[in-house]
Chains A and B, each alone.
Chain A
Amino acid sequence: MAAPKTITLSVSRFDPERDEEPRLQSYDVPFHDDWVVLDALNWIKTHADGSVNYRWSCRMGICGSCGMNVNRQPKLGCSAFLRDYLPGPIVVEPLNNFPVLRDLIIDMDSFMEKLRWVKPWIIREETALSAGEHRQTPAQIEQFRQFSMCINCMLCYSACPVIPIEPSFVGPAAIALARRYDLDSRDRAGEERLRTITGNDAVWDCSFVGECSAVCPKDVDPAKAIQQTKFESTMGMLLPWGGTK
């Protein structure tokens, strides 16, 4: 089948000063086999309608800025090829489970607060520089490596059906990052961080739908992080030798 010359993008538009509800606006965009949705949005912004708003930066699946719903599925705009949605139209909407600021731009303040809450950094007593570096074996790095690949794109929050029911639920990415530091042999905050993510609004709010892992563009497995934390906190309570490291 010959490739079409154009493809239609239906983009969600919301102007907080004018609109009561988001509405869809259609644009005919040139079709190129190697174009992604982000390329199409950039074409719209440059050639058709400069008022369309969306976040983007690296264009290569690293920065996590261009998370959006493409045909109702959470995707990175820079990784969703137009050719996979032929013959169109392609419906582009903001991520689910977040308030919309304007068009495709969501308010991510709640996510940033949740991220800070789990203390995603190495916590340990400072030692003198003369004591040398904190060495790790490849096996020790392998324990947490996959959880360190998270780019905070929030696709997992968009796919999680618990978030709209329990808005205070800390959510998949934050728990995956907490797990990343819990499993780091250099970290000494295991108990402190574990108390946080096994307390209110954390792992026990998760009903294990598992779609957070299915939509992750970096193959991080937040569902695994959450379920392992549940299991190990239970073992830690029942068994004297239970723990996270």
Chain B
Amino acid sequence: MKSTGNDIVALQGINRQRTNHFRFYSKILSVPEQALYDREGFPEIPFEKFVWLLWSIKESVYKYLKRAKPGLVFSPTKIIIQQIDPPLLPNITSFTAIQWENNVNGSGENFYKGVIVAGSDIFYSRSKIHDELISTVVSADENFENTWWGIKSIDHNGYDNQSRAVRAFILDKLYSILPDGNDHLRIGKCPLGCPVVLKEAKEMNIPVSLAHHGYFVAYSFLLKHPLLQMNYKV
């Protein structure tokens, strides 16, 4: 299955006190996942950030899978995070850039890296944690080959603005890397509700995933770099 999934959590929009309550986090994390926090050692992040880190991973996997399984219901505890490793040099900083974009595999960033099992599928995650946000992208490819990922801060929250901003953000990126001739693209939705890239009303073979929360938007998409795929077709 060729797909992608990403999620973003604006930490300003979460209730820290509530997140730390067993009644809350037990609806997201299984007991073994709760134990990962102590076992793996995350001194740089408080428990509530750990909860939302794992939430963002699970939501990303759900988005990945939903593209192929339209009736899929998001059930956080059925997406099992087996392993989550902090970066070698964890350093949580403010998201000072207006936007950040990269090809996941080639970035050399210090990501939080996870391994996830959902049914018979295995996924891998890469997450960025800042003071203000947690952003995750997942792939079935351990090397995240051809996975693109971007995060951007926006001036106004609200659903309509977030929706416009994330679509403009991903289209800007696509225009910058697709060969000439790929004009007038737009982001639509397939009948199953997943976002798709449309060129003259035809769906392009580029799986995309969009996320927004608070004053942040994020995308991921799967695309072999055009320099290696010059004859890209609809």
Do A and B bind?
Answer: no
Binding site for B on A (CB under 8 A): none
